[in-house]
Amino acid sequence: MTRDRFQHIRALQFHAPDPVTFKSVRDPLYRCRWLLQHFQKRFADTAVPLGASSLDEISVRTKARSRARTCMPSKPDKYSLRFYAVIGWDALYVHSLWDNGSGNATRSTPAQRYTELFPSLRTPLYNTLSLPEINIEPKSATSLWVAMAGHQTRTYRSPSGRRLLISDNFYTRHTYARAISAFTDDEVRLLGTVRMNLLRSTNPTRRREKRLHMSVFTWLLDISIINTYALERVIGGSASARVTLREFKREIADKLTRNEKTLKQQRDRRQQKRKAGALDEAVGSVDSLHIITPNSTEHSNGKLTCYLCSLRGMAKKAKYGCTKCERGFHVECFRAFHYEGAFRSNAPQLQDALEAIARAPTGDPVAFTRKRSNRTIRPISERKLP
């Protein structure tokens, strides 16, 4: 037996750590990375916004203590996860979506991680950044913006041959504009906007509104619903324009939770019926006067000899008694003595038979106890609920 144990120990093999562990330690969004990639692929494959589009930053306010969460005092959501997004102006469709790489310690750059998901962009982006007139570092976030903005033209080219990308003044640089034009073959034109004049800034309103904390999955689900609403308005036309986004979200949430709500209502109805039936069976259903109650201590110490124990030849005291029999009983003895036959018309005969059967093995004589009014047993009329 010992030799077999040593053979098993010698057969153990040690392997190097899995590369997944390496990524999970250095990528703070490792657990939801597959979810982000899934939705990003669906967004890019479903539709492409025509006309003008915007490149800006999206913040996800969350309570999670993640290294991907950054602090920016100038933003309405100071502590949140930051994502870059390309959104169409006509239907507010989110086409490209990617995190800004905060807290990510992997060796790959944000642009490389984006082109790994979309391999068709890898070679054009490399050729664009290699041009002598394009002075953009491949490791910078600007290279990621170029890939996200140019992804629209790689998926579906504009019928007019021109696209307008509207960006904040912070993102508008001469090198960035030249890189966008070179990457899309002059199809995308970058337009810088004034922050306070573009449909007025919404930051003061967002600072006063109620903060909503959500997980990454809830946030992606919300964006998916917004994209679905945008597609429905484009396809349905004026008929779908009557439904607001709030009502559209409510209908989808109702459909997603309809089965669970139905099951919960069924469980609640079953529990209510069970409670009502149990209450009807417990209250007022016992028509017997044999009730065990605590003995009174006004005229004695409240302890009486248990009647069933005396029949068995034991003199044990009990603090409880039967209001009908006016005898002392332990709770267990009361339950054993007052069986179903004791409530019938021939109960005295059955009790005598039980007493004879109980005395037969021991040979004890018949016990005669006094049968007068017992003031230790408190009547039911004097009982009060605690």
Q: How far is CA 374 from CA 193, 302, 306, 367, 370, in A?
A: 99, 11, 14, 18, 10
How confident is the model over 51-56, as a mean pLDDT? 80
Q: What is the pLDDT of residue 201?
A: 47
How confident is the model over 117-144, as a mean pLDDT? 86
Q: Residue 24: CA atoms inside 13 Å, Cβ hemisphere, count? A: 6
How confident is the model over 325-351, as a mean pLDDT? 68
Instruction: Find how far residue 286's CA is from the centre of its chain.
Output: 46
Q: What is the pLDDT of residue 342?
A: 46
Q: What is the pLDDT of residue 367?
A: 54
User: Which long-range contacts does 21-28 make (Cβ < 8 Å, 24+ apart)?
Assistant: 23/106, 26/104, 26/105, 26/106, 27/104, 27/105, 27/106, 28/66, 28/67, 28/68, 28/102, 28/103, 28/104
Residues 80 and 64 sit within 8 Å (Cβ to Cβ)? no
Name the least confident of 86-90, 101-105, 260-264, 338-342. Answer: 338-342
The β-bridge relationship of strands 52-60 and 292-294 is unpaired
Q: Mean pLDDT highest for which of 34-48, 150-164, 191-205, 286-300?
A: 34-48
The residue that leads in pLDDT, 80 or 277, is: 80
How confident is the model over 327-332, as a mean pLDDT? 84
How confident is the model over 272-296, as a mean pLDDT? 68
pLDDT bracket for residue 195 (50, 70, 90): very low
Residue 1 has pLDDT above 70, yes or no: no
Tens-digit pLDDT profile for residues 234-249: 887 776 667 888 888 8
Name the least confident of 135-139, 236-240, 241-245, 279-283. Answer: 279-283
Q: What is the pLDDT of residue 372?
A: 61
The residue that leads in pLDDT, 39 or 10, is: 39
Given the structure tokens 């890019």, which residue do they identify? 44
Tens-digit pLDDT profile for residues 104-129: 888 888 888 999 999 888 888 888 88
Instruction: Please name every residue paired with 190 in a beta bridge, in sequence order, or none if there are none.
Output: 165
Distance between CA 262 and CA 285 in Å, rounded?
34
Q: What is the pLDDT of residue 343?
A: 41
What percent of the chain has pLDDT above 70?
A: 67
Distance between CA 38 and CA 92 in Å, rounded?
20
Q: What is the pLDDT of residue 285?
A: 57
Distance between CA 82 and CA 96 in Å, rounded?
14
Neighbours of 54 (CB within 10 A): 20
Name the least confident of 44-48, 291-295, 359-363. Answer: 359-363
* Cα-Cα-Cα-Cα dihedral sign, residues 47, 86, 128, 178: positive
CA dihedral 25, 31, 35, 36 (to 10 degrees): -40
The residue that leads in pLDDT, 203 or 235, is: 235
Instruction: Find how far residue 154's CA is from the centre of its chain.
Output: 38
The residue that leads in pLDDT, 11 or 223, is: 223
Burial per residue of 310-346, b for 16 or more beta-carbon CB atoms within 10 angstroms, e otherwise: bbeeeeeebebbbbebbbbbbeebbeebbeeebeeee
Give residues with Cβ within 8 angstroms of 93, minimum separation 6: 47, 49, 87, 227, 230, 231
Closest residue by Cα to residue 252 from 214, 215, 227, 225: 225
Residues 290 and 345 sit within 8 Å (Cβ to Cβ)? no
Give residues with Cβ within 8 angstroms of 327, minimum separation 6: 304, 307, 321, 369, 374, 377
Closest residue by Cα to residue 115 from 84, 169, 88, 151: 151
How confident is the model over 47-68, as a mean pLDDT? 79
Q: What is the pLDDT of residue 204?
A: 56
Distance between CA 35 and CA 344 in Å, rounded?
71
Given the structure tokens 């709500």, which residue do they identify? 261
Residue 283 has pLDDT above 80, yes or no: no
Instruction: Please name every residue paired with 231 in a beta bridge, in sequence order, or none if there are none.
Output: none
Residue 364 has pLDDT above 70, yes or no: no
How confident is the model over 321-342, as a mean pLDDT? 77
Residue 146 has pLDDT above 80, yes or no: yes
Q: What is the pLDDT of residue 83?
A: 87
Mean pLDDT of the chain: 74
Residue 6 has pLDDT above 60, yes or no: no
